[in-house]
Structure 1
Amino acid sequence: MHTKSPVRIEFLLLMAALQCLMALYVDTMLPSLHQIGSDLDALDNNRYQFVISSVMLGMGLGQFFYGPLADAWGRKPAVNLGFALMIIGTLISLFAQTFEVMLAGRVLQGLGAAGPRVICMAIVRDKHVGPDMARIMSLIMTIFIFSPVVAPMLGQLVLLFAGWRAIFGMLIVLSTATWIWFVLRQEETLDPANRAPLSFVPVLKAMRQVITTRVGLIYTLAAGLIHGSLIGFLLSIQGVLHGIYETGAMFPVYFAMMALGVGFSSFMNSKLVYRFDLRKLVMTVMAFSASVSLLEAFFVGVIGIEVSLFGFIAMMIVTTFCFGLLFGNLNALSMAPFGKIAGVASGTIGALTMMLGVLVGTFIGLSFDGTILPMLIGFGVASSLALLLVVLFSESRVKNASVAG
């Protein structure tokens, strides 16, 4: 019988902080998007949404590189590089006088934030294996779930007393404090004897294997489409809540209510994956999500039903509930064929998922026309395409993968 190894609370909180940086750099900016667009002349054609999609693009690209860097240099130097890029990028955005310079800083922030996020898992893996690692990652993700709730509130709180540039100042303070904490309190976990020569050849080989392995590619594409729905939601939500429902400073409260769906489904998923076939589970959820979103789009666009604020919040709770059931399970299914190259395959699949998600999500976001209809159609079409890919091209039998909670 396996005995649980003790976990230092400080270690758990530090690893959770590394994971939460990504959400901070995305979600704290949501309340300020329109203000940034107005100040930097980017309100036309919804261009202000690029403030979110650009940082996610950087995160996607960064996931290709940090694995080899961490294996060659050690975990701490690679994380230090990520923090340095984050802070430099944040300074660029803080003082940007044009929208293009702002976006350059945001891409750099994303490249940096990918480092702590990716290497956090490597650090946990260095110290713990098997059930212990799964338990620690589950605890870390439990803490992480609260970040999309708290981060917009922090951004809105700053806006009550200062402009949007002060949010970047807050991010610099929080990133610097976390960096100092990491440097002073986290030891190097990679044994010098296990360091590998710096090479990106494994990344290229993993990318080739992911692309040429049908089942892995299909689930990666499906995950990218669903991730695109989430990004489309993030890009559109400020325009919906501020522009349609005029929520003002209550934006983060209503956003937090919609994020509840992810929390509920994350808790349920840890039980469901042991009771149902994983492929059938994701197919059922995608079919449900597509049907609900397209039905909502029909009632809004064809019948002309007006949706109240709380009606919209209820709709989005259902949508985010489906997101929570799909993300971890699609990732587990996409990783299933790559046990021997799990490390580099994970980074490759994460990068491809994020970049496809940015492409799909940006299309959904730029389609925003002052109504909720484009977002609903985007959700429905993306889920339908993901379902079609899985039904037509994936194997009918896939062993259940372990999904931490």
Structure 2
Amino acid sequence: MAEQAPIETDRKLPLPLWELVPLVAALMALNALAIDIMLPALGDISEYYDLTNPNDQQLVVFIYVMGFGVPQLFFGPVSDRFGRKGLLQLCLIGYAIAGFLCMATNAFWMLLVVRFIQGVFAAGVRVIAVSIVRDLMAGRAMARVMSLVMTVFMIVPILAPTIGAGIMLFAPWEWTFGVLGLAGLIMLAWVQVRLPETLPETARQPLNMTQTTRAYRQTLTTRVTFGYMAASGVIFGALFAFVAASEQIFSDVFGMEETFALWFAGVAACLGVANFTNARIVERIGMRRISHSVMFAFLVLASLNVILMQIFGEQLWIFYPLFCLTFACFGMMGANFSALALEPLGKIAGTASAAYGFATSTVASGFGYLVASQFNGSVIPVMIGFVGLGILSLSIITWTERGKLFSSR
């Protein structure tokens, strides 16, 4: 195997790469943890609050994602003005407190309110984590490091449902939220002790309406940034749709309620392998060539799953292998789409990261809820939604690249 080229960065790394990657991954993983750890508890939550519509349990996921989305548009410019570390610490404190408050709610609407607030603070953590990477590197180097980050990050979706199920063996479902509070405090200590400020005073941007409007206008009028941001907002709706409906799919369709965490972990593991593979090849092959190819693969695999289930019925042995491969495509789209979108806007990385995060959370969750809410005891409507989102996302990318796909740039 050819030796990997060293990662070239725009400036000297403030932490060794072996620590920077796990730190950024852990910060981003707080978001995945907040979504995935309580998936095995959704049924219990539905019973506890006596929900009449079983699909309402999906709101525990979607209301968090809604809170996670819009505030990123605020955190981006603020972090560009005041720096990364102090704001990151504030967000980690808020995230931890919200986790503990979720344990004390006695009405479903109260739980949703606190979950929304937790999503707001998680938004700041996510924006700043990505901005830290962009402060230090760009282009294929950023794509490679973000792929490494996502590889480590994927440990959490693999383990989180199992952790949640394990917690429920010894404690009530409320402690699936309590663990989030503990995780926030651990990350606060790590950041305080080890992470320096990555945005120099000389690189900070003024914070005023004119400057903020100009930065967002630049983000929206930069064709590559806007195109990949929009395409990501669409295709990541499929990811949110599956996460929200996964417990129902494996329990109601395939009768795998007791082993749900293992099936979910297998899907997440495939995504992790894809992220790691992308990290190994992206600097040699290029972000566009990889991500455009897997976009087509996503469409083919999702369509094939729908066709075969229509012919043979909803059989786990048909659905699961094809779905794992379909889901793995996100591992070669996410980091590359992100790097392509942010590459032209290094001077306003926080603002650009915020806009991208908004697209891949609020916009994506809207599409995700639209698809997941079609679940009617059958997985076929959800998979048809996957196909539709794939076609729309590919159309946006084709427009962005003026019809010239698979470029080595």
Q: TM-score, normalised by structure 2?
A: 0.86
Equivalent-residue separation in structure 2 for 1:277 and 1:8 (angstroms): 22
Q: Would you say how many aligned residue pairs link Structure 1 and Structure 2?
A: 399
The one of 205, 208, 226 equivalent to 1:199 is 208
One-letter amino acid of the structure 1 residue matched with residue 323 of structure 2: M
CA deviation vs aligned residue, 1:72-96 (integer Å, no higher than 9, x gap): 3332220122123213322332222
Task: Determine the structure 2 residue equivalent to 1:80.
Answer: 89
Verify: 1:56 aligned to 2:58, yes or no. Answer: no
Q: How do 1:155-304 and structure 2 match up within 5 A?
A: 155-192=164-201, 194-199=203-208, 201-274=210-283, 278-279=287-288, 281-301=290-310, 303=311
The one of 364, 374, 380 equivalent to 2:371 is 364
One-letter amino acid of the structure 2 residue matched with residue 329 of structure 1: N
One-letter amino acid of the structure 2 residue matched with residue 313 of structure 1: Y
Equivalent-residue separation in structure 1 for 2:333 and 2:135 (angstroms): 28
Task: Determine the structure 1 residue equivalent to 2:328.
Answer: 321
One-letter amino acid of the structure 1 residue matched with residue 332 of structure 2: L
Identity %: 33
Which deviates more, 32-41 or 387-396?
387-396
Task: Determine the structure 1 residue equivalent to 2:388.
Answer: 381
Which deviates more, 89-98 or 165-174?
89-98
Q: CA deviation at 1:140?
A: 3.1
Q: Indicate conservation of the 8 Å contact 1:67/1:118, yes or no.
A: yes
Relative distance call for 1:312 and 1:390 in structure 2 (3 A) is same
Task: Determine the structure 1 residue equivalent to 2:125.
Answer: 116
Equivalent-residue separation in structure 2 for 1:195 and 1:140 (angstroms): 25
Secondary structure at the residue paired with 2:402? Answer: coil
Secondary structure at the residue paired with 1:104? Answer: helix
Secondary structure at the residue paired with 1:333? Answer: helix
Equivalent-residue separation in structure 2 for 1:53 and 1:22 (angstroms): 12
Equivalent-residue separation in structure 2 for 1:389 and 1:123 (angstroms): 28
Q: Indicate conservation of the 8 Å contact 2:134/2:142, yes or no.
A: yes
CA deviation vs aligned residue, 1:337-385 (integer Å, no higher than 9, x gap): 5455444222212212322111110011111111111111011111012
Verify: 1:353 aligned to 2:389, yes or no. Answer: no
Q: TM-score, normalised by structure 1?
A: 0.86
Q: CA deviation at 1:21?
A: 0.9
Q: Indicate conservation of the 8 Å contact 2:127/2:357, yes or no.
A: no
One-letter amino acid of the structure 2 residue matched with residue 334 of structure 1: A
Equivalent-residue separation in structure 1 for 2:140 and 2:341 (angstroms): 21
Q: Which runs of 5+ in 1 are unaligned?
A: none
Equivalent-residue separation in structure 1 for 2:26 and 2:358 (angstroms): 21
Q: Indicate conservation of the 8 Å contact 1:89/1:107, yes or no.
A: no
Which deviates more, 53-62 or 274-283?
274-283
Q: Indicate conservation of the 8 Å contact 1:26/1:52, yes or no.
A: yes
Equivalent-residue separation in structure 1 for 2:117 and 2:80 (angstroms): 22
Verify: 1:90 aligned to 2:104, yes or no. Answer: no
* RMSD, aligned CA: 3.0
